[in-house]
Structure 1
C-alpha cells in the first residue's frame, strides 16, 4: 500500500511538472508533503542574432589584379553570445577573416573579406557563408562589382 501511494505521488508530480509551465517561469507547488519545483527555462531559450549593417558590398569597377577588401560589421541583436564557427567563401579568390571571440549581446563583430581580382575579368559576385550558434545559424554576405582588363 505504501509503495502504491509513493508511485501515485511520483505520477502526480510528473504530471504537474510536465504540464502547465509553458511560460518558462519558476513555480513551486505543494503536492502532499513534497514541494514540486520547476526551473526557469528562459536561459536555455536565449540565443544570439546576427544582423549585418550592410550584407552586400558593391566595389564598383576595378582593374584586374587589384585586391579589394571590405569589412562587414554585424551586431548581435540577440540575448546570448554569438560564436562564428565557420566563415567560407564561394571562390578561392575570396578570403574571409572573422572575429574569433564570442560577440556579446549588443556588441559588434566583423568579417573582413579580401577579393583578389587577378584572372577574374567581368562581372563578379562572391558570396561568403557565415555559420554560427545564432538563431539565424547560416547567413551570407556578398561582395560584387566589375573587374576590367
Structure 2
C-alpha cells in the first residue's frame, strides 16, 4: 500500500512540477479486445516491464538521455498501447505501434532533453493500453549538472 501511495504521490508531484511543455505525447487508438462467436470477451492482455524505473545518474545540461523500457505481454490476448505520454515536454516517448501478442515483447523508448533542466529530475511516462493493468507508469530519473 505504501508503494502505491509513493507512486501516486510521485505522479502528482511530477505532474505539478512538469516543465510546462504540454501536448508532447503520441496517441494511437484501437480496440483489440478479443471476442468469441457470441461477442463475449475472451482473455486479457497484461503488460510486464523488465524494469519500470531507470536512473541515468548524472549528465551535463544539454545532453539527451535515451532509454528503452522493454515489456512482455504476459496475458492471453493481444495488447495495444493506446497512449503513451510524458509528464514534461522535455521527455519524448515512442513505442511499439502494433498489437503485442501473448508472450511477445514490445518497447517504449524515452528521450529526455536535459537542456534547461538543472538539478534532480524524475520524469513519469504514463502508458495506457487495453491490458488488464490498463494504466501503468515508468520513470526516468537522475541529476542534470549545470554547464
1:59-70 paired onto structure 2 within 5 Å: 59-70=56-67
Report the Cα distance in structure 1 between the residues aligned to 2:119 and 2:44, rounded to whole angstroms. 41
* Length, aligned pairs only: 110
Per the normalisation by structure 1, the TM-score is 0.71
> What residue number does 1:77 align with?
74
List gaps (5 residues or longer) in structure 1.
1-38
Candidates 115, 131, 136, aligned match of 2:128: 131
Deviations 1:92-118 (A, max 9, x none): 000000000000000000000000000
Candidates 80, 86, 91, aligned match of 1:89: 86
Deviations 1:59-112 (A, max 9, x none): 000000000000000000000000000000000000000000000000000000
Structural RMSD (CA): 1.5
Question: Relative contact order, CA 8 A, sep 6+: which one is greater?
Answer: 2
1:1-149 paired onto structure 2 within 5 Å: 44-149=41-146
Report the Cα distance in structure 1 between the residues aligned to 2:100 and 2:139, rounded to whole angstroms. 21
Per the normalisation by structure 2, the TM-score is 0.72
> What residue number does 1:21 align with?
none
Following TM superposition, the consecutive aligned residue runs of length 4 or more in structure 1 with deviations greater than 4 angstroms are: none
Q: Match of 1:44, SS?
A: coil
> What residue number does 2:5 align with?
none
Report the Cα distance in structure 2 between the residues aligned to 1:74 and 1:141, rounded to whole angstroms. 11
Report the Cα distance in structure 2 between the residues aligned to 1:83 and 1:132, rounded to whole angstroms. 6
Higher-strand-fraction structure: 1
Report the Cα distance in structure 2 between the residues aligned to 1:70 and 1:136, rounded to whole angstroms. 22
